[in-house]
Amino acid sequence: MTTIDYGWLVRSMSKSEFTKLTKRRGLFWTSLLLSFGSVVVYYAVLEIMHLISPATHGVAGGALNLSRAINIETLIGGTAAILVGANAGAGDSNGVFRDLVATGRSRVGLFFARISGALGMFWPMFLAAFVTMALVSTSLAGTGVNAAPSLGTLAHYGAIALLSTTFELLLALGLASFTVSKSVTIAVLMAWEFIVQQLLLLITWFGVTREILPLSAIGRLSPKSHGPLRFVPGESAFVAIVVLVVWTVVAVGIGAIKTRRMDA
């Protein structure tokens, strides 16, 4: 009897999805620029301004600037995550899915291989951005609000940004697997993230029901120091995490179901 090495099969499918994504040079460099480049540009501008006029502009490091950098990564890095997730989820449109199913591979297995492949591409970019934030915020720190952040603060902020961006990636991947269109997914999520949710959060008579919006949950978890992210007043961190988990489960669930039922 032939024994199938499922561990090897999963790793092989994940590596295949990862390679497929990284070979899309436009996607790779755009995502890297948004997730890692935005942080580098932010700190470079702060440092140049400090060197030109140290009396007017403070140091580039410190906890306050770290919180702002985290918010930048949450917004702009989240956009990169959407691009990666949408491209990974809509991989069926190029005809490869039919060939893979014909070999006897599990449809659901192929779907989850997309997730690991997309995370394998995005997480190193995020890690590079976070390491940059940690090094600059500690090595170029000052005093007072510009003092170096503690290890606990670094870990807390890093977890927030990782959770937020990973959520955006999984949301995009699930929706793209359902629509089988990366352009539709990107357009819908960009409008949802930057227009629709912003408007809904401004309508106060919706009350606590606005807590179900992912943007409110992300805003609640993100650093509050001069942050641009809105959230419903009084929303707890526990509720915010539950909201993101539920949205993620629903998005991944509909993507997996659509992939399982898709015609080869």
For residues 109 and 152, what is the distance between their CA atoms, to the nearest angstrom? 37
State pLDDT tens for residues 81-111.
999 999 998 865 445 555 555 455 567 778 8
Backbone angles phi, psi at 225, to 5 degrees: -70, 100
Asked whether the beta carbons of 169 and 161 are under 8 A apart, the reply is no
Chain-centre distance for alpha carbon 256: 20
Ranges of each domain in the chain: 6-261
Question: Residue 76: is its pLDDT beyond 80?
Answer: yes
Query: What does pLDDT average to over the chain?
Result: 86
State pLDDT tens for residues 146-176.
899 999 999 999 999 999 999 999 999 999 9
Cβ-based neighbour number of residue 25 at 10 Å: 8
Q: For residue 185, what pLDDT band results from cuts at 50, 70 and 90?
A: very high
Average pLDDT of the segment spanning 108-130? 91
Q: For the chain, give me the number of helices (H) and strands (E)?
A: 12, 0
Residue type, 26: G
Asked whether the beta carbons of 46 and 57 are under 8 A apart, the reply is yes
User: What is the 3-class SS of 74-123, one letter each residue?
Assistant: HHHHHHHHHHHHHHHHCHHHHCHHHHHHHCCCCHHHHHHHHHHHHHHHHH
Question: Residue 52: is its pLDDT beyond 90?
Answer: yes
**For the CA atoms of 18, 23, 25, 29, what is the dihedral angle to 10 degrees?**
30
Which range is most confident: 53-67, 122-136, 229-243?
122-136
